[in-house]
Structure 1
Amino acid sequence: MRIFIAEKPSMARELAKCLPPPQHKKKGFIETGDGIVTWAYGHVLQQAEPQDYDIKYKTWKAEDLPIVPKEWKLLVSPNSKEQFQTICNLITQADSIINAGDPDREGQLLIDEILDYVGNTKPVQRILLNALDEKSIQESLADLRNNSDFLHLKESALARSRADWLIGMNLSRAYTLAARRQGHRVVFPIGRVKTPTLALVVRRQRELDHFVPVEYFIVKAVFIHANGSITAQWQPKDTQTGMDSEGHIIEEKAAQALIDRLHNNPSGVIQERKKTKKKEAQRLPLSLSSLQVLAGKRYGYDPQQVLDAAQQLYERKLTTYPRSDCEYLPCNQWKDRSSIIRNLQSNQAGKLSEWTEKADLSIKSRAWNDSKITAHHAIIPTTVFCDFSKLTSLQQHIYYLIAQSYIAQFYPLYEYDQTRILVEAASELFVAHGKVITVLGWKELYTSDKNDVEEEENDDGLPVVKKGDTVVYQDGLVDKKTTKPPSRFTPSTLLAAMKEIYKYVKDDSLKKKLKEVQGIGTEATRATIIDELIKRKFLVEEGKKRYLKPTDNAYLLVDALPDEMVYPDETAVWEDRLYKMSEGKDQLASFLQDQIIFLEKLVARAREVKIVSKNMNKDQKICPQCGAVMVLRHGKYGDFFGCTMYPKCRYTEQMTAPLKEEEKKYKCPRCHDGYFICRTSSYGRYWVCSEPACNTTCSDVEGKPSIFAK
């Protein structure tokens, strides 16, 4: 008897339908004529908490950090105990087992960890279900793999899980404790992906807060050629006066001086005419991230809404696996194009039917490429007909985008002629550009959407010229422009930034390498991370476009952490190593050892970090010796202010109320600013100067400070 263990009940039901009858649904599994299908509920096993390793860790203490398990523990999720027992019972009865987790590293791990937990020694195969329609499932059943072929994929997921635990559990405690020692009542949720993501928004907001618009000027000149006029823009030399470091002319008189020179010397010559034929390949089909970004721009949906809708379409067999990070298709999908296009042709949703009429099924775009496929492929429609009337508005929009990108694969390349003319006049260079579309091709599907692809227009209007032709300056103008601030992040554009994290690294030398990494986080977790930052009030959404703005606690956290945690460089390098591990090119033990070394360094820094709020209370005391915040403490001899960097800094200030006139009898002879006031301790009465910086003390003699006693 063989047992299929699916990742979730919906997948199990569809898989069971494709197995031979008879089929009998039982509690926690389905019997079929070719084996039993059971299911998990995602991760039925979860990482143990620190207190599960040792009860002392239930109380957060800096001296216990870092916490590094010698042997990693998993616990059965309380909500999955009954189903987990069902799976265990079935494993004991099985002759062979089939891992039917989702076709990604997490799907591989969550079934494998069950098998490892129970100590399974029976043979295990792997089924890769990229779609849940019957045709796709039957093809997958006919192509079962050896589960051991995916060992490296499991190790990659395990490395990610344990690294997240080490960083999250330890640094969240270390920096939360540091903040509390310094008077901040906050819990810092620190994560190797979450924190650099939050820092992206904080840095962008600071750019906006400090942005000062700069006026600059461009010069446009009209030259007359025998065959017509040319409007060209001045290209200032690097040595041009009145220019800033960005290459903008910021002095209007410098721009106007050029116009005057052209009036005085209007003769010019064509230095270059270059015409280039250009082609642009079809936009690739959609991964989850590209779908989330596209749906956010076009419809304003947040990433989690898009993921939920894509999952619902998948479970209804209308589209393929949604949590895909791949934008390519396997060559064996090519044979399904006719039935998919035929279904879309009879679909009355928007322009889908109209577009399919022009689709050329003989065109094979770059999307079909087996070398680009891992465990899954791009999200596309299945061969199952989609009745739009039975979908919600959100589902309709998501299906529409998926279908649109698929149809585009059967349109020609976008082709155009690009012309560049370079004019020399008054010892300066001017450039004019022209463009003529020769084949609109696949962009026909996108030109009407201004939020997606800018409408393509023929924009040439340039006369036929050749190098060496003379031209004469006719007219010109100085056009005033203003620099624009960077765009604020929305959930969709922040998700895009996570995927294209190479653009935001601090070390430019990493950019080329990290461009291949697929960003930080996974397709399935990016939306969840952004959502969590909003729910935990580190980010807030503003306005109809849902712009993201950091809260005070976000600034507090980002400013407290070292660059290794707030810039994506380190995290992106980890993602690169995880990817290599999935291909067998890195080792789990080596990766985790490096994480522990990194962790120990950051925990040590947390003990010395100064955490100062961006909007600090005006009455907040600052230590005059080290600059850290001082907090009110309760001592044996009364209340006092203590430095939060104790024991490194032991500076204190006695807490005193404003002195009454009758208390100003004895002026301190040392500082000449304070007055001696009487205190009582367990050893008797004594006198202390009211000025904290002086703090001179003396004994009591007959009700007076000893300094003043006869």
Structure 2
Amino acid sequence: MNGSPLYSLLLQQKGIPGSFSLGRVQTPTLYMIYQLQEKIRNFQKEPYFEGKAQVIAQNGAFDAKLDPNETQATQEAFEDYLKEKGVQLGKQPGTIHQVETEKKSAASPRLFSLSSLQSKMNQLMKASAKDTLEAMQGLYEGKYLSYPRTDTPYITEGEYAYLLDHLDEYKHFLKAEAIPTPIHTPNSRYVNNKKVQEHYAIIPTKTVMTAAAFEQLSPLQQAIYEQVLKTTVAMFAEKYTYEETTILTQVQQLQLKAIGKVPVDLGWKKLFGKESDGKEKEEEPLLPKVTKGEMVTVDLQVLEKETKPPKPYTEGTLITAMKTAGKTVDSEEAQSILKEVEGIGTEATRANIIEILKQKEYIKVEKNKLVVTNKGILLCQAVEKEPLLTSAEMTAKWESYLLKIGERKGTQTTFLANIQKFVSHLLEVVPGQIQSTDFGSTLQEVKAASEKQEAARHLGICPKCQEQEVILYQKVAACTSEVCDFKLWTTIAKKKLTATQLKEIIQNSRTSQPVKGLKGQKGSFEATIVLKEDFTTGFEFSEKKKTNFKKRTRRTTK
């Protein structure tokens, strides 16, 4: 985009080194993370007070909440509210006003699209979107899973038929033969010919993996394969059914509610064991048997709590947010378009967009949470006066006109003319915007980080020619001499080394500590990396670590 050199040059004039990259998907995505991070940073915790009651009945006690729930800023205000209802803190008589038991059910999860599987693997394995896509690609190339870059959770009746034919084989692999799967009629929750275009949902192929082949997979590939099989088999299993009991207790003018849930048949949930999908609440407690009109004792208490800030994005939740980006724009037309095209980016590109933001050092991952760096913050501050750069609305407008071109209602000439007009607008207004923007302490922090980063690139005198310096680049550290060919790759045995480790190899001919996470044909291992006499690298093993290869074992579905 023309905005990249424009912003880079203008920021350089402000004394900010380096280049800055903008993009119609990349920049709104970065700004989404930045906005949430700022919201969390500026969040002020506020205390509030709410009530909780223990209801003591003839057959046992249970907890209940005010219905409707009531919160107040102070304890005094909450106690005043209770007085208005004719009650006070502590024990007092009450009556069981209503008891309702309803049988409910829940269908199994939808089949996976790429986005939903990336979100799931981030939740279960803390895997990046890129790593999940690469792992899935390997399973696809091995002919074990269907095409990974799909945006639909639906299959056609044709796929349903072959899945049914191989159902017993899938269950055998999962050691789930004892779990009933009596549903052999296509359900529109999963099967819809009209909603499948180029590719259908991610499902197992007719080739069922052997136990030996499974053991050769990476832990992430194993988790993906198991999840896809479980979700597919769950489509044929009974619904999860449970009884939900609601008890309403009356104390003067105050009503209390308690809800209890008792499983009747776990159905498809048997496939997943105790694994949580991160969405379901813990099962409600078992309630004692009570009858309408029963007299009870109610012990009413007040609880002090604090408001909580929103949670930062993970790669999994960001993928979902990108897919539903239309909800964040104000224009109804833009919302409609983004809903039609399913957000910003595509199933195939969203993971790459996140990786680009990492590579450009706009974001980093800390404890599975996405954090905008000072460099990313500075860019967001620079572009936030141009809503079309930070909002998904520009993508919506472009997609809208591209659809018109496809329908022969628009022309390429008009499309390019509008882009040129937008670029001219940027050239006219952005210099003044940058000049007037106060970047505050972020500017100094970015400058300091850049200087520190530049210093870290200097790894020491070349061990081969003993004359020139070795400088660290993106993928290799190399001697600056024109006649010396010394090179040291930054990734060895599929492990990216730190600048400190590279400096140790160059200055001391070895790493000071064994490096963990190296990968070979037999699995992961650790070893000291040494610089040999011919200036290539090798491994030095301690006696205890020579056979320390790690593999994941498959758990049995009970």
- Normalising by structure 2, report the TM-score: 0.69
The equivalent residue for 1:556 is: 378
Q: 1:369 aligns with which of 192, 211, 232?
A: 192
Kindly indicate whether residue 87 of structure 2 is the aligned counterpart of residue 262 of structure 1.
Answer: yes
Q: Is the 8 A contact 2:57 2:297 kept in 1?
A: no
The equivalent residue for 2:235 is: 409
Distance, in Å, in 2 between the alignment partners of 1:283 and 1:588 is: 43
Q: Is the 8 A contact 2:363 2:373 kept in 1?
A: yes
Q: Is the 8 A contact 1:437 1:458 kept in 2?
A: no
Shift of 1:433: 1.9
Shift of 1:494: 1.9
Shift of 1:277: 3.8
Q: 1:250 aligns with which of 66, 73, 77?
A: 73
Shift of 1:559: 1.6
Distance, in Å, in 1 between the alignment partners of 2:273 and 2:340 is: 29
Q: How does 1:474-493 map to 2 (within 5 A)?
A: 474-493=298-317
Q: Is the 8 A contact 1:217 1:249 kept in 2?
A: yes
1:189 maps to a residue whose letter is: S
Q: How does 1:619-658 map to 2 (within 5 A)?
A: none
The equivalent residue for 1:174 is: 6
Distance, in Å, in 1 between the alignment partners of 2:219 and 2:278 is: 19
Distance, in Å, in 1 between the alignment partners of 2:167 and 2:147 is: 19
Shift of 1:307: 0.5
Larger Rg: 1
Q: Secondary structure, in 3 states, of the residue corresponding to 1:289?
A: helix
Are the structure 2 counterparts of residues 618 and 185 from structure 1 closer, same or farther at C-alpha, using a change threshold of 3 Å?
Answer: closer
1:233 maps to a residue whose letter is: K
Q: 1:204 aligns with which of 22, 28, 36?
A: 36
Q: Is the 8 A contact 1:356 1:407 kept in 2?
A: no
1:344 maps to a residue whose letter is: Y
Are the structure 2 counterparts of residues 549 and 453 from structure 1 closer, same or farther at C-alpha, using a change threshold of 3 Å?
Answer: closer
Kindly indicate whether residue 166 of structure 2 is the aligned counterpart of residue 340 of structure 1.
Answer: yes
The equivalent residue for 1:696 is: none
Are the structure 2 counterparts of residues 430 and 605 from structure 1 closer, same or farther at C-alpha, using a change threshold of 3 Å?
Answer: farther
The equivalent residue for 1:218 is: 50
Q: Is the 8 A contact 1:295 1:306 kept in 2?
A: yes
Q: Secondary structure, in 3 states, of the residue corresponding to 2:309?
A: coil
Q: 1:436 aligns with which of 244, 250, 262?
A: 262
Q: Secondary structure, in 3 states, of the residue corresponding to 1:607?
A: helix
Q: Is the 8 A contact 2:179 2:270 kept in 1?
A: no
Shift of 1:529: 0.8
Shift of 1:403: 1.2
Shift of 1:274: 4.9
Kindly indicate whether residue 220 of structure 2 is the aligned counterpart of residue 394 of structure 1.
Answer: yes
Q: Is the 8 A contact 2:94 2:298 kept in 1?
A: no
2:137 maps to a residue whose letter is: Q
Q: How does 1:495-514 map to 2 (within 5 A)?
A: 495-505=319-329, 514=338
The equivalent residue for 2:453 is: none
Q: Is the 8 A contact 1:266 1:426 kept in 2?
A: no
Shift of 1:317: 0.9
Shift of 1:571: 2.8
Distance, in Å, in 2 between the alignment partners of 1:480 and 1:268 is: 24
Kindly indicate whether residue 154 of structure 2 is the aligned counterpart of residue 331 of structure 1.
Answer: no
The equivalent residue for 1:154 is: none
Shift of 1:441: 2.1
Q: 1:607 aligns with which of 431, 452, 455?
A: 431
Q: 2:343 aligns with which of 499, 513, 519?
A: 519
Q: Is the 8 A contact 1:552 1:614 kept in 2?
A: no
Distance, in Å, in 2 between the alignment partners of 1:582 and 1:420 is: 56
Deviations 1:162-192 (A, max 9, x none): xxxxxx2x12123223323333324221111
1:354 maps to a residue whose letter is: A
Distance, in Å, in 1 between the alignment partners of 2:6 and 2:291 is: 69
The equivalent residue for 2:481 is: none
- Unaligned stretches of 5+ residues in structure 1: 1-167, 238-246, 620-710
Deviations 1:259-295 (A, max 9, x none): 6752599455566555444332221111111111101
Are the structure 2 counterparts of residues 588 and 477 from structure 1 closer, same or farther at C-alpha, using a change threshold of 3 Å?
Answer: farther
1:371 maps to a residue whose letter is: K
Kindly indicate whether residue 411 of structure 2 is the aligned counterpart of residue 566 of structure 1.
Answer: no
Q: 1:290 aligns with which of 109, 116, 119?
A: 116
Higher relative contact order (CA 8 A, sep 6+): 2
Q: Is the 8 A contact 2:338 2:344 kept in 1?
A: no
Q: How does 1:156-175 map to 2 (within 5 A)?
A: 168=1, 170-175=2-7
Shift of 1:453: 5.6
The equivalent residue for 1:530 is: 354
Kindly indicate whether residue 202 of structure 2 is the aligned counterpart of residue 379 of structure 1.
Answer: yes
Are the structure 2 counterparts of residues 538 and 616 from structure 1 closer, same or farther at C-alpha, using a change threshold of 3 Å?
Answer: closer
Distance, in Å, in 2 between the alignment partners of 1:196 and 1:457 is: 38
Q: How does 1:457-476 map to 2 (within 5 A)?
A: 457=283, 459-461=285-287, 463-466=289-292, 469=293, 471-476=295-300
Distance, in Å, in 1 between the alignment partners of 2:171 and 2:262 is: 31
Distance, in Å, in 1 between the alignment partners of 2:281 and 2:55 is: 28
Deviations 1:485-506 (A, max 9, x none): 2212222222222123245445
Q: How does 1:61-140 map to 2 (within 5 A)?
A: none
Are the structure 2 counterparts of residues 224 and 512 from structure 1 closer, same or farther at C-alpha, using a change threshold of 3 Å?
Answer: farther
Distance, in Å, in 1 between the alignment partners of 2:417 and 2:286 is: 60
Q: State the percentage of identical aligned residues.
A: 31
Kindly indicate whether residue 129 of structure 2 is the aligned counterpart of residue 306 of structure 1.
Answer: no
Distance, in Å, in 1 between the alignment partners of 2:405 and 2:57 is: 62
Distance, in Å, in 2 between the alignment partners of 1:443 and 1:395 is: 22
- Unaligned stretches of 5+ residues in structure 2: 446-558
Are the structure 2 counterparts of residues 426 and 464 from structure 1 closer, same or farther at C-alpha, using a change threshold of 3 Å?
Answer: closer
Are the structure 2 counterparts of residues 288 and 608 from structure 1 closer, same or farther at C-alpha, using a change threshold of 3 Å?
Answer: same
Q: Is the 8 A contact 1:501 1:572 kept in 2?
A: no
Distance, in Å, in 2 between the alignment partners of 1:480 and 1:582 is: 59
Distance, in Å, in 2 between the alignment partners of 1:550 and 1:584 is: 40
The equivalent residue for 1:82 is: none
Q: Is the 8 A contact 1:414 1:441 kept in 2?
A: yes
Deviations 1:101-137 (A, max 9, x none): xxxxxxxxxxxxxxxxxxxxxxxxxxxxxxxxxxxxx
Q: How does 1:441-456 map to 2 (within 5 A)?
A: 441-450=267-276, 452=278, 454=280
1:201 maps to a residue whose letter is: I
Distance, in Å, in 2 between the alignment partners of 1:567 and 1:456 is: 37
Shift of 1:255: 3.1
The equivalent residue for 1:318 is: 144
Are the structure 2 counterparts of residues 222 and 586 from structure 1 closer, same or farther at C-alpha, using a change threshold of 3 Å?
Answer: farther
Q: Secondary structure, in 3 states, of the residue corresponding to 1:549?
A: strand
Shift of 1:554: 1.2
Q: Secondary structure, in 3 states, of the residue corresponding to 2:389?
A: helix
The equivalent residue for 1:694 is: none
The equivalent residue for 1:52 is: none
Are the structure 2 counterparts of residues 614 and 274 from structure 1 closer, same or farther at C-alpha, using a change threshold of 3 Å?
Answer: farther
Are the structure 2 counterparts of residues 259 and 221 from structure 1 closer, same or farther at C-alpha, using a change threshold of 3 Å?
Answer: farther
